[in-house]
Amino acid sequence: MSAPLKIDIGVCTFRREMLTETLASLATLKVPQNVSLRVLVADNDVEPSAYPRVAAAADWMPVEVAYVHCPAGNISLARNACLDNSDADFLAFVDDDETVEPQWLSRLLYAAELNGADVVLGPVRALYAPGAPDWMRRGDFHATRPVWVRGEIRTGYTCNVLMRLAAPSIAGRRFDLALGRSGGEDSAFFSGVYDAGGRITFAADAWVEEPVPAARARFAWLAQRRLRMGQTHGRLLAKRCDGPARIKAAALAGAKCGTCFTGAAAFALFPIRRNRFLLRGLLHAGAIGGLFGARTIEPYGKLEAAR
């Protein structure tokens, strides 16, 4: 028999009690034949607060569990710690407040082998509490799926992903520490993968689930997140265009922003459509700020870091 395929699953954590549930769901994975699996937990707290929880889980997990302490309050540090401590063929990421389905890993791996992809993204199903606003639940504003541009996926996220570590577009690449407190480090990372010729695909059946806590079940939280996403996009654009090209990009974003806010006004009595327009407008407004170096919102490393 050939040597087993080595896969690591990285879980970056910061003071999250639900980490135990995440690990418990990973324990139910149907591991494909000839696959050697390891779970790698990267603790981003100042103190190694997750260690007792991880050590306890290691006693009952059916696969190897490794722990690395990588302080503090910068999610890029934790993601890079997973990259630095992995010698696997593939590295997957899942968040410390998510649970996976038993076939999750098999479906990501199948998509990677079927398409020869460097990166495979999966969908995130949001679980809303009874107190979540009706418009948020019916519009499913917290679900995560990739964005296609002209039939391609040009960036990605780390809440449900599998990466081929030896791919030229990924080998040696690291998450930007400058984005580790604001977020957007994953968008920048996978945009770099795409720009380097990496292929990103989607496994629509590789589900993970994520509960939406009360602190996130608010328009204000979504608005701040969408504005920050726009800032990240603007910063990435600024690296590619100077002078007139940057002005042109800002003018286009401004026009889109105005169109979105006009649409929000037109649908003022229809909360789902109104809020979609508002959030899209904030994305474009953030892009304008990012293009010209506006100070980035930094929720990580503070209370929001516990997500």
pLDDT tens digits, one per residue of 269-288: 999 999 999 999 999 999 99
Which 8-state DSSP code applies to residue 64?
E
Which domains can be identified in the chain, with CATH numbers? Answer: 5-213 (3.90.550.10), 219-306 (no CATH)
- C-alpha distance from residue 248 to each of 32, 231, 245, 251, 254 (Å): 50, 16, 5, 5, 10
Is residue 305 scored above 90 in pLDDT?
no
Distance of CA 100 to the CA centre of its chain: 15
- Least confidently predicted of 102-106, 121-125, 175-179, 252-256: 175-179
Round to whole Å and give the CA distance between 237 and 235.
5
Nearest to 234 by CA among 178, 190, 287: 287
pLDDT value for 294: 77
pLDDT tens digits, one per residue of 112-160: 999 899 999 999 999 999 999 999 999 999 999 999 999 999 999 999 9
pTM greater than 0.95: no
Please answer whether residues 176 and 76 qualify as being in contact, where contact means their C-beta atoms are separated by less than 8 angstroms: yes
pLDDT tens digits, one per residue of 210-243: 999 999 999 999 999 999 999 988 988 888 887 8
Task: State percent of the chain over pLDDT 90.
Answer: 86
Round to whole Å and give the CA distance between 26 and 229.
29
